[in-house]
Structure 1
Amino acid sequence: MTESFAQGQTVTTNHGPVNVEVDTSYENDSSYGDELSSYTASLTSSVLDYRHENGRRYHKYRDGSYLLPNDESENDRLDMLHELCLKMLHRKLYLAPIKRPQRVIDLATGTGIWAVDFADEHPEAQVIGCDLSPIQPSLVPPNVKFLVDDVESEWAYDRDPFDFIHARYLAASIKDFGRLVKQCYRSVKPGGWVEFQDWDVYPITLDSSLKDTGLHRYYDEVCSAFEEAGYEVRPGPKLERWFKDAGFVNIHVEKFVVPYGVWPKDKHLKELGTWAQAQAEAGYEAGALAILTRYKNWTKEEVIALASQARADGRKRNVHTIFNFYVVYGQRPEN
């Protein structure tokens, strides 16, 4: 775990070697299609009266609960993250061993892309996607329904328990993950499954290449600001404990190493790194603007400069950044 990242050398991780490729030109898939942005339900004007700030658009319902934008640029980034997760999980939407689910919910569904894909894959299931923002598409499979709600509030849609509850990349958006996991336990059927997929947002490197970079400073500034505001930015490695505390059994934990950039020699890791870099570059300003301007008195221009330096240093081939991503699922006991 401590070998150098010098060109041509190998670093061993829990998922095997990560090799640095020599002399490959920079590749960056920076777009992932247009986002559909209408909503199926009839909504009050207050929900759609979005907050506009520093050139970005934010949710109105429970204003300020979530500190990232909900505009088209951010929605495109979320769909890039969806593709990154599919590549990471070898095109699987989930890892839990569910069988013939009838009632499913996707927490903080975002653009709704996971819920739609799951509904297509399981036409026998009724799928709910809930989010603070009504940004989901209107043309969806008939077994999908979207709701505007705050998943950290008491749920009003769990009178009929779920067979499967899914949540993905809620880092920096939830304050009490332990409480949320316990709510999932109460709302899933005996024998049903809950799966969370999430990051440890802090970047790491197995050499010293990240030290004193703009990329390192960005995550230090932004993550510490979120933590001071009460948000959890490192849920991935803590999910197993929260699942155990809630009472789940048959808990399974899988950790994925996600490189940042195209420096790995391995083709699959290089592809993951390319997608990780593309979505990160699209999201630096989105992730920092609200938290730093509202909570830390930064100016918009200071945030843009911070994001620009992170973007520039992240493209350097001698900066070998890694993120850890966790998939954790557990089962509510039958009795």
Structure 2
Amino acid sequence: MTEASEVPSVTLQSQSQPQTNPASHEVRVDNFDDNDSSYGGDLDAASETTSLYSLITRHVYENGRRYHSYRAGTYWGPNDDTAQENLDLFHHIFNLSLDGNLFLAPIGPNPQRILDIGTGTGIWAIDVADQYPSASVVATDLSAIQPSDVPPNLEFQIDDFTLPWTFSKNTFDFVHARCIYGSVADYPALYSSVLDHLKPGGWFEQSEISVIPKSDDESINGTSLEQWGPLAWECGEKFGKSFKIAEESRDIMERAGFVNVQRKTVKWPIGPWAANRKMKEIGAYNRLGWDEGINGWAMFLLTKYLGWRSEEVEAMCAHIRRDLRNKHIHAYQDVNQKALLRGSSENYLAAPVVQVIPVIISPEERSSLTRCWSAISRRSSADDILAKGPPDFKATQNLQQQRPILTRDDKVKLNAATLELKSSEETRFLVASRELWLVDETQGTLDREDEAA
């Protein structure tokens, strides 16, 4: 890890005293009574605690936004009420995207210790503490903005997760991170810390939203919305903390030593233009998130690292908000979620896994697809699958080239490019096997509503 700046310390100030020569003056020890109030007792400790608390809870104000003061400037986002509401809104969008689930990793029904790094308002940690009341949940952040009325099994800590961790090693069943782009200068060092502190067989899950808006029909081309992503990437390069982690994290994670890196990629529309009801709802909330969030995302980065004036940032934000309301722009973002295991393949195969695999498919294809997964589960050994990696659509077709698992029709139906997102064709499959098979769910082209509608 690159050397981090020292954590701010609090020094108690005393009144100045005349300088003396220590060699010519003897300091006598007063045989004071144990109850002598002049010694201070708990008063000085309380004063020091109060000073440290003030350091953590006070804020920095710049260009009309409020930022954290503890390790000020190490994170780019504001922490004022508007920013907090925006964080909670995106938590809701993640819940919609995950069909009400808080994560993908199969951590089992009784995790003992869970860590959430970069918790923000703490809303995810609160929900997971409610869901697992027997687990001890710890959540860290640079900003002391979390509520005090929380489940008794949840503890918030004000800390920088990019510094060396103070937790005992091999202690967590699950470590969770979400939207930490632009926060980390040394991802290999962070992932090393995660690995060190997970129990063998423990899970790490990271979810990242790409900052690059896209469109399949090129309707975003030439817009202010399109310009935002490259600007964020440029700021990250100058800031020394990448905003490309959604695109780059898988290779870094595998090099760090995680096994069975499972990746799920979904598209979040920006705006309610998608025909599918679920995607339409996600798009509506995502547009609101952009509308309320773009000022906070851009102000610190563009003024500090690209030399923009605050008025220029405001003007760009206004142009982006105009694009958000243009129904002819069919923009979306890729959202990557990765569940990773710490441990050997033997640990990974120690117990059967039942995993919900979201698949978008027509009712007529259900029986064929079910037969396909069942055939793979019966006829493919764990060694074969581990050698080839998790059987996503492509890997499944590679397996077919070596053994007659699937029929030709089944292979066609497993082609990800043929699976289009249509609300009338959504279903789910429960697939039980010795492996966690999580389909790489790049959803293809999102259907959009008729422009005239």
TM-score bracket for the superposition, by shorter chain length: 0.7 to 0.9
Structure 2 residue 72 is the aligned partner of structure 1 residue 63? yes
Distance in structure 1 (CA, Å) of the matches to 2:202 and 2:170? 13
Runs of 4+ in 1 over 4 A off after TM superposition: none
Q: 2:84 pairs with 56, 75, 83, which one?
A: 75
State whether structure 2 residue 331 is matched by structure 1 residue 321.
yes
Query: What is residue 48 of structure 1 aligned with on the other side?
Result: 57
**Contact conserved, 1:218 with 1:307, CA < 8 A, in 2?**
no
Whether the 8 Å CA contact 2:206–2:339 is kept in 1: the answer is yes
The alpha-carbon deviation at position 68 of structure 1 amounts to 0.8
**Residue 160 of structure 1, CA deviation:** 5.9
Check whether the contact 1:263–1:320 (CA below 8 A) recurs between aligned residues.
yes
Distance in 2, Cα, partners of 1:143 & 1:181: 26
Inter-CA distance 198–158: structure 2 relative to 1 (3 Å threshold):
farther
Structure 1 residue aligned with 2:106: 97
Letter in 2 for 1:95: L
Contact between 1:133 and 1:148, CA under 8 Å: does it hold in 2?
yes
Give the corresponding residue for 1:284.
294
Q: Which amino acid aligns with 1:116?
A: I
Cα deviation, residue 201, structure 1? 1.3
Cα distance in structure 1, aligned partners of 2:268 and 2:90? 12
Question: 1:21 maps to what in 2?
Answer: none
CA distance in 1 between counterparts of 2:66 and 2:167 reads 28
The structure 1 residue matched to 2:158, chosen from 145, 148, 151, is 148
Cα distance between partner residues in 1 of 2:98 and 2:244: 20
Query: Relative contact order: is structure 1 or structure 2 higher (C-alpha 8 Å, sep ≥ 6)?
Result: 1
Match of 1:167 among 157, 177, 181: 177
In structure 1, give the amino acid aligned to 2:71: R
Note the C-alpha offset of 1:217: 2.1
Per the normalisation by structure 2, the TM-score is 0.63
Higher normalized helix content (fraction of residues): 2
Q: Which residue of the other structure, out of 91, 96, 99, is the alignment partner of 1:87?
A: 96
Is the alpha carbon distance of 1:187 and 1:159 closer, same or farther for their aligned partners in structure 2, counting shifts above 3 Å?
Answer: closer
User: What residue is the counterpart of 2:322 in the other structure?
Assistant: 312
Q: 1:199·1:234 contact (CA, 8 Å) conserved in 2?
A: no
Q: Does 1:201 align with 2:180?
A: no
Tell me the alpha carbon deviations over residues 65-115 of structure 1, each in whole angstroms, 9 at most, x when there is no partner.
001100110000000000000000101001101021101100000000000
Moved more, 245-254 or 62-71: 245-254
> Which residue identity does 2:77 align to in structure 1?
L
The Cα of 1:173 is off from its aligned counterpart by 2.1
Q: Displacement, 1:176?
A: 2.1
Deviation, 1:243, is 2.1
The one of 262, 269, 272 aligned to 1:259: 269
Q: How high is the TM-score relative to the length of structure 1?
A: 0.85
Q: State the AA in 1 paired with 2:119.
A: T
**In structure 2, C-alpha distance between the alignment counterparts of 1:104 and 1:201, rounded to whole Å:** 28
Q: Which moved more, 1:203-212 or 1:55-64?
A: 203-212
Residue identity matched to 1:144:
L
> Which shifted more, 85-94 or 203-212?
203-212
How far apart, in 1, do the equivalents of 2:200 and 2:179 lie?
Answer: 25
* Paired residue secondary structure (1:156): coil
CA apart distance, 1:218:
2.7
Amino acid at match of 2:56: V
Quick one: distance in 2 between partners of 1:218 and 1:203?
Answer: 8
- 2:342 is the counterpart of 1:332: yes
Aligned with 1:192 (options 202, 209, 219): 202
CA shift digits 1:278-314 (9 cap, x unpaired): 1111111101111111122211111111001011112
Q: Tell me if 1:211 matches 2:221.
A: yes
Tell me, yes or no, if structure 1 residue 294 matches structure 2 residue 286: no
Q: Deviations over 1:160-187 (max 9, x none)?
A: 6211000001112222222211210111
CA offsets per residue over residues 170-218 of structure 1, 9 Å max, x none?
1122222222112101110011111101122111111221111111123
RMSD: 1.5
Match of 1:221 among 231, 235, 244: 231
- Secondary structure at the aligned position of 2:213 is classed as strand
Q: Which runs of 5+ in 1 are unaligned?
A: 1-40
Q: Could you say which residue in structure 2 is the equivalent of 1:24?
A: none
* Counterpart secondary structure, 1:294: helix
- For 2:387, the equivalent position in structure 1 comes to none
> What is the CA–CA distance in structure 2 between the aligned matches of 1:258 and 1:160, rounded to whole Å?
35
Deviates more, 1:284-293 or 1:73-82: 284-293
Q: Say if 2:212 and 2:228, in contact at 8 Å, map to a contact too.
A: no
Number of aligned positions between the proteins = 295
Which consecutive unaligned segments of at least 5 residues does structure 2 have? Answer: 1-48, 348-453
TM-superposed CA distance for 1:159, in Å, is: 4.3
Asked if the contact 1:258–1:276 (Cα under 8 Å) also holds between the matched residues in 2, the reply is: yes
Q: Which amino acid is 1:187 matched to?
A: H
Give the aligned residue type for 1:111: T
Letter in 1 for 2:278: H
In 1, Cα distance between equivalents of 2:169 and 2:104: 26
| Alpha-carbon distance in structure 2 between the residues aligned to 1:140 and 1:173 | 26
Structure 2: which amino acid aligns with 1:71? D
**Amino acid paired to 1:322:** Y
